[in-house]
Amino acid sequence: MPQPHSSQTSALQILSQTFGYDHFRGQQAQIIETAVQGKNALVLMPTGGGKSVCYQIPALLRAGITIVVSPLIALMKDQVDTLRELGIRAAYLNSSLSMSEQRDVESALQQGNLDLLYVAPERLLSEHFLNRLDQTQLALFAIDEAHCVSQWGHDFRPEYQQLGLLATRYPHIPRMALTATADKRTRADIIQVLSLQNAPVFLSSFDRPNIRYSIVEKDNGRKQLIDFIQQQPEGSAGIVYCLSRKRVEETAEFLQSKNLPALAYHAGLPQAERIRVQDEFLLEEGRIVCATVAFGMGIDKPNVRFVAHLDLPKSLEGYYQETGRAGRDGLPSEAWMAYGLGDVVSVRRMLAMSDAPPEVKRIEAGKLDALLAYCETASCRRQILLTYFGEMGSLPCGNCDICQNPPSTWNATVAAQKVLSAAIRTGNRFGAAHLVDVLLGSETDKVKQFGHHELPTFGIGQDLSEATWRNVIRQLVALGYLLPDLEGFGGLMSSEKARDLLKGKETLWLRELPAVKVKTSRQDRTSPKASDLPADAQLRFDALRALRLSFAQAQKVPPYIIFNDATLREMALLDPDTTEKLKMISGVGEQKLARYGQGFLDRLSEVRSAPTDQPMSYPEPAQEKVDTLTATLELVNRGMDRAQIAEHRGLSVDTIGGHLLKLYHASKVTKHEILFLESHELLEIQKTAQELNLKPKQTATKALKEALNHQYGYADLNVALWLW
């Protein structure tokens, strides 16, 4: 059993010895310091940002026990298993334990044998438990998923509102509230309910840089989904969100018919089945869950590689939360959506038909407009998301479909006028298909039945294709120029907003239909994928993964609790052959080293000495270069910056800077990840370079460095010249 930490032990030492990580992320260090000093705090950090260590490390540094309030039983077990694997004295108390197990936990609490105890709020608030706490030395209250106090959020829990009691009953015990939901109203509720008025607020950027956002125009959604899944690394775990239970079941069956390991999950299934699906998703590798939004809360699986939406989510908030379940481990992940005309028409109609009070409807309309604008955007998707959540001024990300394949826009004023007048001339009651027939001059039965072939608009759209017309109509609905009928027959009518456009007082630019993409094979994709490992490392990765699974099965825990994918990948890449080297790998702390270190080293040594059928066993010099780039990329994907990578790899900042530029050139990293200069610095360098007659993308010269009084290293100078 580990000894309690002495007052000399620093937070950083615990991070490295116990958790196996070598530096804090973002504001973790300040948050921990605040709690260690006994002060309250509100922590707003995105999913997978690393909130847990913010209270877990103070729990080890402060005398007494830390009580963690957590809303979900499934979440508690996972967290406690993870902590125990690290050698931390943690337990949970909830109804899933037998009476005698509960008694054991309570006596451990009484004897001071625990550092962390996870409880549900109703348990915490029971008089019996509070009496126990009165007799216990308390270190900290951590209120995880603190947005559950807010009625406005999607996860409101009435018991959370009563947690205000902690402030009055235990005024001297610090409280730390943590959530990944950052909107202002929720934040205000948390502060009020938990009495955090004077506490510092630690707000991190909500960007999830490892998630790539993309939206395709839906034609055959399920077929597109299959294509998308087949482009993912083999064995990728994912979630496919659908609107209805029926769609969930159909989609799961369809994927199964294509030999994909798909499962169905929705609130209509018996509880036992839901638990089975959830367990299979967590414990096995590479499962694909088709689900309604009922699935997700409490799914802490870090290596979900993709989240796909086959139907429009309810709002951008919902979308961000759902897609946020991908890539909690920080490795490259995909958020993919198929979206088409039918979706726009049906959500617009649902809004129009809603009998909510006008002010609620206005809010809903605003949210819907934001969602549709996101879908239809011709600029960086991440910028739109971050702006929506209040983070202004970010650069285009380089890791979304729009940045990577910018759509062109065209002046669609005349085309839009044609559509609108076709709608008006046909009585504002026909759907998209019929309007397209009229525009193209197709003499269908329906056209003839209504005499629409005699209208002046008949056939005025033969200059554009059917697909283009559907695309135009979709954007007109999304933008609110066309409105769906209320009866639900799919009819479209010209709106108030369309007036100026019809009169020619307004110019309308629309996105062009994306060019039909040639299917990319697994090898020639530009964006990095979580499984892009060099062949020899892949061999080691597979061997290590098999070993991990056998340890996990023996312990009855999910594989990622033994070591997560990021740790395993680094092991596979660096191929350590001593305990010392193994210890350097991120995610290998003392306890895990003691427990599994030898096993993993042995397995690596087996792979090393195994005869291979491949002739190549020693890398060529060129190969070595590729590997060093991959190793750097790996660390970028783990969230390290240039200086940290240099330190970690024992290479110079300039060398790593060179790697980053090459990776940027190969579209493997984004501008954010190579640029460490303020914009005025960038300008200063570029201006000086111009004065020295240097050219963009040229390598920085000594003269440039000198002209800038040696203020910048070569790595920064090169970046500035590259981005010139």
Ligand X SMILES: Nc1ncnc2c1ncn2[C@@H]1O[C@H](COP(=O)(O)OP(=O)(O)OP(=O)(O)O)[C@@H](O)[C@H]1O
Helix, coil or strand: residue 154: coil
* Contact call for residue 400 and Zn ion (CB under 5 A): yes
How far apart (Å, rounded) are the C-alpha atoms in residues 712 and 548? 45
Residue linked to tokens 């940290």: 644
Which of 586, 556, 719 is CA-nearest to residue 649?
A: 586
State in angstroms the smallest separation of the CB of 618 from Zn ion.
40
Binding partner at 668 among ligand X, Mg ion, Zn ion, none, C-beta below 5 to 8 Å by kind: none
Tell me the residue number closest to Mg ion, measured at CB.
51
| Residue 96 near residue 50, CB atoms below 8 Å | no
CB of 144 to Mg ion, least distance (A): 6
Per-residue binding string, Zn ion, 366-385, x by CB under 5 A, is: --------------x-x---
For residue 265, the surrounding DSSP H or E stretch is strand 262-265
Q: Is the dihedral of CA 308, 311, 312, 314 positive or negative?
A: negative
CA–CA separation, 137 and 635 (whole Å): 40
Minimum CB distance to ligand X smaller for 34 or for 468: 34
The phi and psi torsions of 139 (rounded to 5 degrees) equal -100, -40
| Bridge partner list, 489 | none
Task: Count other Cβ atoms within 10 Å, centred on residue 702.
Answer: 8
Indicate whether 386 belongs to the interface with Zn ion (CB under 5 A): no
Site string for Mg ion, 17-56 (x = CB under 5 A): ----------------------------------x-----
CB of 51 to Mg ion, least distance (A): 5
Q: Which is nearer to ligand X, 564 or 630 (CB)?
A: 564
Q: Which tokens in the block code for residue 693?
A: 């007659």
Residues 43/177, Cβ–Cβ less than 8 Å = yes
Q: How far is the CB of 81 from ligand X (least distance, A)?
A: 13
Q: How many residues bind Mg ion (CB under 5 A)?
A: 1
429 burial (CB, 10 Å; 0-12 / 13-18 / 19+) is middle
What is the sign of the dihedral through the CA atoms of 29, 30, 33 and 34? Answer: negative
400 binds, among ligand X, Zn ion, Mg ion, none (CB under 5 to 8 A by kind): Zn ion
**Shortest distance in whole angstroms from residue 45 CB to ligand X:** 5
Pairing verdict, β 509-511 and 409-411: antiparallel
Q: How far is the CB of 25 from ligand X (least distance, A)?
A: 4
Q: Which does 403 bind (CB under 5 to 8 A by kind): Zn ion, ligand X, Mg ion, none?
A: Zn ion
State the binding string over 322-361 for Zn ion (x if CB under 5 A, else -).
Answer: ----------------------------------------
25 binds, among Zn ion, ligand X, Mg ion, none (CB under 5 to 8 A by kind): ligand X
Residues 538-557 that bind Zn ion (CB under 5 A): none
Using DSSP, how many helices (H) and how many strands (E) does the chain show? 35, 17
Element (H, E) at 625: helix 621-637
Going by their DSSP bridges, the two strands 175-179 and 41-44 should be labelled as parallel
Q: How far apart are CB 674 and ligand X at their closest, in Å?
A: 21
Phi/psi for 241 (5° steps) reads -90, 130
Nearest residue (CB) to ligand X, 45 versus 308: 45
The span from the CA of 539 to the CA of 317, in Å, is 40
51 vs 434, which CB is nearer to ligand X? Answer: 51
Q: State the nearest-atom distance from the C-beta of 387 to Zn ion, in Å.
A: 12
Question: Which of 331, 403, 415, 476 lies at the binding interface for Zn ion (CB under 5 A)?
Answer: 403
Query: Which of ligand X, Zn ion, Mg ion, none is residue 53 near (CB under 5 to 8 Å by kind)?
Result: ligand X
Distance between CA 238 and CA 304 in Å, rounded? 5
Q: Which of 100, 310, 328 is nearest to 211 (CA)?
A: 328
How far, rounded to the nearest angstrom, does the alpha carbon of residue 641 sit from its chain's CA centroid?
Answer: 19
**Binding partner at 380 among Mg ion, ligand X, Zn ion, none, C-beta below 5 to 8 Å by kind:** Zn ion
Contacting residues toward ligand X, per CB under 6 A: 21, 24-25, 28, 45, 47-53, 180, 302, 328, 564, 586
328 binds, among Mg ion, Zn ion, ligand X, none (CB under 5 to 8 A by kind): ligand X
Strand partners, 511: 409
Residue 47 vs 591, nearer CB to ligand X: 47
User: Tell me, what DSSP letter sits at residue 15?
Assistant: I
Q: How far is the CB of 664 from Zn ion (least distance, A)?
A: 15
Q: Cβ of residue 671: shortest distance to Zn ion, in angstroms?
A: 10
Taking residues 650 to 689 in sequence order and writing x for each that binds Mg ion by CB under 5 A, - otherwise, the string is ----------------------------------------
Minimum Å distance from CB 182 to Mg ion?
Answer: 14
Tokens of 188: 């205000």
**Shortest distance (Å) from residue 476 CB to ligand X:** 38
- Binding residues for Zn ion, rule CB under 5 A, total 5
Tokens of residue 243, six digits? 């609107």
Phi-psi region of 212 (alpha: psi -120 to 50; beta: other; left: phi over 0): beta
Residue 270 to residue 266: CA distance in whole angstroms: 9
Q: Which two tokens stand for residue 705?
A: 């460095």
Query: Toward ligand X, which CB reaches closer, 232 or 321?
Result: 321
Closest CB to Zn ion among residues 59, 400: 400
Q: Which does 432 bind (CB under 5 to 8 A by kind): Zn ion, Mg ion, ligand X, none?
A: none
Size of the chain, expressed as the number of residues it contains: 724
Contacts of 402 (CB under 8 A, 6+ apart): 377, 378, 379, 380, 381
Distance of alpha carbon 207 from alpha carbon 410, whole angstroms: 31
Distance (Å, whole) CA 585 – CA 717: 31
Residue 470 or 569: the one with the smaller Cβ distance to ligand X is 569
The CB density around residue 636, as the number of other CB atoms within 10 Å, is 25
CB of 86 to ligand X, least distance (A): 9
Nearer to Zn ion, 380 or 530 (CB): 380
Residue 397: name its binding partner from Mg ion, Zn ion, ligand X, none (Cβ under 5 to 8 Å by kind).
Answer: Zn ion
Select from 370, 376, 355 the least CA-distant residue to 486. Answer: 355
321/670 with CB nearer Mg ion:
321
Q: Around Cβ 551, how many Cβ atoms within 10 Å?
A: 18
Nearest residue (CB) to ligand X, 207 versus 681: 207
Task: Tell the smallest beta-carbon distance from residue 58 to Mg ion (Å).
Answer: 15
User: Closer to ligand X at the Cβ: 180 or 435?
Assistant: 180
Query: Taking contact as CB under 5 A, which single stretch among the options 8-16, 402-410, 514-522, 616-624 is the one that binds Zn ion?
Result: 402-410
- Least distance from ligand X to the Cβ atom of residue 298, Å: 9
CB-based contacts of 114, cutoff 8 Å, min separation 6: 65, 89, 90, 91, 105, 108
**Whole-angstrom distance, CA of residue 415 vs CA of residue 352:** 26
Q: Which is nearer to ligand X, 45 or 194 (CB)?
A: 45
Quick one: 56 or 224, whose CB is closer to Mg ion?
56
Q: Which stretch binds Zn ion (CB under 5 A): 46-54, 400-408, 585-593, 644-652?
A: 400-408
Place of tokens 């790595």: 715
Cα–Cα distance, 369 to 479 (Å, whole number):
8
The entry of Mg ion, Zn ion, ligand X, none near residue 349 (CB within 5 to 8 angstroms by kind) is none
In the complex with Mg ion, the residue whose CB is nearer, 76 or 482, is 76
- Rank residues 281 and 664 by Cβ distance to Zn ion and give the closer one: 664
- Do residues 289 and 261 make contact, with C-beta atoms less than 8 angstroms apart? no
Q: Pick one of ligand X, Zn ion, Mg ion, none as the site partner of residue 180 (Cβ within 5 to 8 A by kind).
A: ligand X
Residue 50 binds which entry of Mg ion, ligand X, Zn ion, none, CB below 5-8 Å type-dependent: ligand X
Residues lying near Zn ion in the complex (CB under 5 A) are found at 380, 382, 397, 400, 403
Residues lying near Mg ion in the complex (CB under 5 A) are found at 51
